[in-house]
Amino acid sequence: MQELGRLEDLPLEYRSALTEKNLVPLWPSLRAVLPPGVPTRRTQPICWPYQELRPLLLQAGVLTPMEKAERRVLVLANPGHGLENMKASATIYLGMQLLLPGEWAPAHRHTPNAVRMIVEGEGAYTTVEGEKCRMSRGDLILTPTGLWHEHGHDGEEPVVWLDVLDLPLVYFMETSYVTEGKRQAVTSEAADSAYHCAGVLPAPAFKRAGSAFPMLHYPWVNVRAALVSMAARQPDAEAVQVAYVNPETGADCQKILGYSALMLRPGEALNLPARSCATVFHQIEGGAHVSVTAQSFKLAAADTCCIPGYTPVTLRNDSATEPAFLFIADDAPLQKALGLYEIRNP
Ligand code: 1HN
């Protein structure tokens, strides 16, 4: 590839004249913004073990009351992006949120899309547009763009969940903002039962039918049962994996980030080809090794890691007797919509 002229090759006077007029020569920076073959990625492979962050999160519960936090969260920040930028990858924000018994995180709505994966504790709930979604370990609760949401806790133990947002992208686009609201009236207590089973839809239609986000709560008991049944009935399936989708259209449940759950059978190893999207893995149950060329993370329950795009990944369950279950988040829906999504076969 042809070497291009450098900034230093240009006379100082000419450079000053350009700067003065808010002009920049492209050629000294062209290779940096358009590298050959593989993009430059600031995202580093990184792991956040739950047992290391949990005591610090509980300490935040002592140090900072809810009135002073609104959302009591420790952000899982990728050092490759600069910790202060609060990014796990270029588009993905991750945070571990703590809610203590009796606490309330007030209602608001905002432009970024969020989901929460429940990590530990019983008794908390998120009310989304009047639908009360009770949290249990492994449940996925959606708070998509523009929908009112707040969190409450009637239980007796700390509740922790993993927030996943497309905040870095929405902020980068200069479209991120919030509106504060009043406590919502609960209009529905068991809305997750509306889409209990694939292939059947409520008739007459459920009240959210036809909206962009008809289903807001994906209970883990159902998702786990689907994976276990798939593993038993499809022994030849390459990957035992299910995607979280809109039950009426089959499309990804949100437009920017995509979510799935994957089961590794006892002893199973799975090679995932390099894809253009960065990927987050969160261990729901069991343990797994997540390996890239130079690095390997051993995930235990509730651990979370992030892998940059264009990187092949191997997942391995070392247990000879127990399955392993992973929650996966990536920005494949966004990349597909923009025509940027790639799978590179080795
Ligand atoms: C948010 O609304 C929540 O509602 C959590 O629990 C984390 C991080 C950035 C922006 C909004 C929540 C968030 C957030």
DSSP string, 40-101: ---PPPEEE-HHHHHHHHHHHHHHS-GGGTSS-EEE---GGG-GGG--SSSS-EEEEEEE-T
Higher pLDDT, 204 or 37: 37
pTM of the model: 0.97
Residue 321 one-letter amino acid: T
On the question of pLDDT at 191 being above 80, the answer is no
Most ligand 1 atoms within 8 A of CB, residue of 57, 70, 71, 160 to mutate: 71
Domains of the chain (ranges; CATH) run 46-193+213-344 (2.60.120.10)
Contact criterion met (CB below 8 Å) for 320 and 286: no
What percentage of the chain has pLDDT greater than the value 70? 100
pLDDT at 2: 93
pLDDT level of residue 77 (50, 70, 90 thresholds): very high
pLDDT at 279: 98
Q: Which string of DSSP letters, residue by residue, matches 284-302?
A: EES-EEEEETTEEEEE-TT
> Which pLDDT value is given to residue 326?
98
Give nearest CA residue, ligand 1 atom 12: 71
pLDDT band for position 204 (50/70/90)? confident
50-64 pLDDT tens trace = 999 999 999 999 999
| Confidence (pLDDT) at 205 | 83
Q: Which residues contact 34 (CB under 8 A, 6 or more apart)?
A: none
What pLDDT does 123 receive?
97
Atom of ligand 1 nearest to the CA of 95: 7
pLDDT at position 287 is: 98
- Rounded distance from Cα 111 to ligand 1 centre (Å): 11
Residue nearest to atom 10 of ligand 1 (CA): 167
**pLDDT score, position 325:** 98
Ligand 1 centroid from CA 13, angstroms: 49
Q: What is the whole-number distance in angstroms between the Cα of residue 341 and the centre of ligand 1?
A: 27
pLDDT confidence tier of residue 156, bands split at 50, 70 and 90: very high
CA of 168 to the centre of ligand 1 (A): 12
pLDDT tier at 27, thresholds 50, 70, 90: very high
Per-residue confidence at 345, pLDDT binned at 50, 70, 90?
A: confident
Q: What is the pLDDT of residues 312-326, one digit of tens each?
A: 999 999 999 999 999
Q: Tens digits of per-residue pLDDT, 113-131?
A: 999 999 999 999 999 999 9
Phi-psi region of 236 (alpha: psi -120 to 50; beta: other; left: phi over 0): alpha
Ligand 1 pocket test: which of 135, 163, 175 has the largest number of ligand atoms within 8 Å of its C-beta?
Answer: 163
